[in-house]
Amino acid sequence: MKKFGLLLLLIVSFAGTYAQGVKHPVKWTSKIEKKSDTEYVLVFNAVIEESWHMYSQFTPDGGALPMVITFNNQKGNYTLVGKTQESKTEKAFNDIFEVDEYFWSHTAQLKQTVKLAPASNKVVQVTLDYQVCKESCIQDGNLFEFDLAKMASKEVKNFKNIPLAVLATDPPAGAQPVEATVTDTVKATDTAKTQVVPAPKDETAKPDVKAAKDEEKGKDGLFTIFFVAFLSGFAALLTPCVFPMIPMTVSFFTKQSKSKAAGVRNAITYGISIIVIYVLLGSLVTGIFGADSLNALSTNVAFNLIFFVLLIVFACSFLGAFEIMLPNSWANKVDRQADRGGIIGILFMALALAIVSFSCTGPIVGTLLVEAASKGGLAPVIGMFGFSLALALPFMLFAMFPGWLNSLPKSGGWLNTVKVFLGFLELALAFKFLSNADLVLQLHYLERETFLAIWIAVFGALALYMFGKIKMPHDTPGGFISVGRLLLGLLVLSFTIYLIPGLWGAPLKLISGFPPSQTYSESPFGFGGSSGVTTAVALPEGAHSGPQGIAAFEDYDKALAYAKKTNKPLLIDFTGYACVNCRKMEDNVWSDKRILSVLNNDVVLVSLYVDFKEELPESEQYISETTGKHIKTIGNKWSDMQIRKYKTNSQPYYVLVNNKEENLNEPVGYTPDIEEYLKWLQEGVANYKK
């Protein structure tokens, strides 16, 4: 039924696409190879136009649509011997869907062996449905008829004399397709369906401007992960478990090595070993869960709740409640291996460092992996590389310049202060994960005011600690605080005071995206009923007051109907309750007066939350023809719509369409540049008025 539905969709949609010009970038020929009186090999040869790609039947779900091969009249006529064999395919990573895709360029070949039944009519009908892409994607299809008795085959482009139900199942012997003439080939209703949508990543085609921007943003995201991880590595260096080991380890290398050069070489090998160990950890996380699954975890309720608990445990450990340690037997076994010497011994020394320092580095690495995992892709690997590079650099540098060791501050109570400081940060971050779960479930237990109150309490307590007013279990007694600690305490106190007006509706753009939005609060319009944000017009039926007081729909059909009624373009906002960049756009970009004016007066806004977990009525649930997934929730429905229509699954994602649902300009994703986003809005509105 799924294949029949796809075939029906392709045939019916031709009438709407023919006016735009139907393209067939793939030209097919076929032949028969006889193996015996009962076994034959059906051969399909394809020639693909330059710069186009046709996707394999084995390309994984989540990316381009795989080829579907349907053997129509198989029952009682013939059986298949093995699977359909393919010629060699190319492999490329699609950075939009974050999956490897398999495809052909230039030429392709399929082979299928069939075995005839005793009473067979010796006619085999095969339908190929496939996707071929360049800048746009085309769903094309071809019907082949193989007459094994005559050893003849032909491609049938005209379906008009064959009932659809017959093609989808088993046609009676008398239902023979009509071979197309040259005129029929142009005029006939065939299976082509042209989709004017962005294509999956094409390695041979010239990249367009949007693809270049997407690639640049992807690189920026990985750079951010690397930078944060690098700073986290330096923070780990300043903990009591790691810092004292720098002079000890460097001294070991310089004393045990036969020459200064050998000591430097061994220390560099040691540093590289540290990097290898942590990068392998990041690779292991990516390999076990997969890039696509990691990306989906960011809005998974169980994931967020588990890591809320995990970060609370990490925070308590850093604050001094207990120590998180791996079994001593592990450290002892690794330490014995380190005595072997050579590169293997140095590698085990690096592993011993990772195990011994786990009580301090574990919480930092765990937090970093959680954040990187929510980004998906190579983020865990890049994160571990940045972290381990910062961790390894001091060992390498001090081995090269041993005199620098004299300039290192002595170990002492300040190391525990750093550890406690990190514990407070872990505690604050933990509530972001709890907030994500609450937002996705729409429970309203941790609304904006509650979240901010918790952060004010956490950072207020941290300020008191920095001023020496609060003592933790492992702090050393002291009668004064250093100037550095005082300055850092003042910075934390200033941040705490900055948070307080947020309880009364202040936007708090500095932490935009971390707390829930203003609309997810006890007082959506601020304390006393007004936050300075007002809705420009009376709310239409089915709409609510959205971000910045903009009238927003959450039902696509209602929004489209209202856009037609008011003769305005429709702004589709693919978003998520737990999407940080979505909140940043709403708080920092949509708040600009010029943009706010356009959103209030010139467009109709519909916000489609792809992580909305409310289930659809059973009658509205379906299996996606694009991904093959069961669409059960409202969020699933909007996510499937985004993938099906726009070939992307990232949020935020903005599309401006006219009343016929045609794109007015190129859709955009996260665009923090106010001028760039304003120009994009104005361009779409101007195109609509034309």
CATH number at residue 182: 2.60.40.1250
For residue 275, the model assigns a pLDDT of 86
Last residue of a domain, one of 392, 410, 428: 410
Please give the residue range of the domain that contains residue 597.
Answer: 543-689
Residues 176 and 306 in one domain: no
Co-location of 193 and 227 in the same domain: no
Q: Is 538 part of a structural domain of the chain?
A: no
> Is there a single domain that holds both residue 30 and residue 175?
yes
Domain-located, residue 472: no
Q: Specify whether 233 is located in the same domain as 200.
A: no
Report pLDDT for 525.
57
DSSP 648-687: ---SSEEEEE-TT--BSS--B-----HHHHHHHHHHHHHH
Residues 398 and 273 in one domain: yes
Question: Residue 280 corresponds to which tokens in the numbers above?
Answer: 């392998």
Indicate whether 78 and 162 sit together in one domain.
yes
Supply the pLDDT for residue 467: 93
pLDDT confidence of residue 172: 35
Domain stop point among 367, 392, 410: 410
Do residues 234 and 109 share a domain? no
- Domain shared by 257 and 374, yes or no: yes
Domain annotation covers residue 213: no
Amino acid at 253: F
Same domain, 307 and 384: yes
Residue 389 tokens read as: 């590079």
Q: What is the pLDDT of residue 52?
A: 84
Has residue 22 been placed in a domain?
yes
User: Are residues 169 and 110 part of one domain?
Assistant: yes
In angstroms, the first-to-last Cα distance of the chain is: 43
User: Rounded to the nearest 5 degrees, what angle is found at the Cα of 208, between the Cα atoms of 204 and 209?
Assistant: 150
Residues 160 and 226 in one domain: no
Residue 467 falls inside a structural domain: no
Confidence (pLDDT) at 421: 87
For residue 574, being part of any structural domain is answered with: yes
523 is a domain residue: no
pLDDT at 567: 94
**Which of 343, 376, 410 is at the close of a domain?**
410
Could you tell me if 35 and 8 lie in one domain?
A: yes
DSSP conformation letters of 568-599:
--EEEEEE-TT-HHHHHIIIIITTSHHHHHHH
Tell me if 370 sits within 8 A of 289, measured CB to CB.
Answer: no
**Structural domain includes residue 657:** yes
The reported pLDDT for the residue numbered 166 is 36
What's the rounded Cα separation, in Å, for the pair 435 and 430? 9
Count of domains observed in the chain? 3
Task: Tell me which residues of the chain have a pLDDT lower than 50.
Answer: 1-22, 158-211, 214, 291-295, 529-536
The pTM score is 0.48
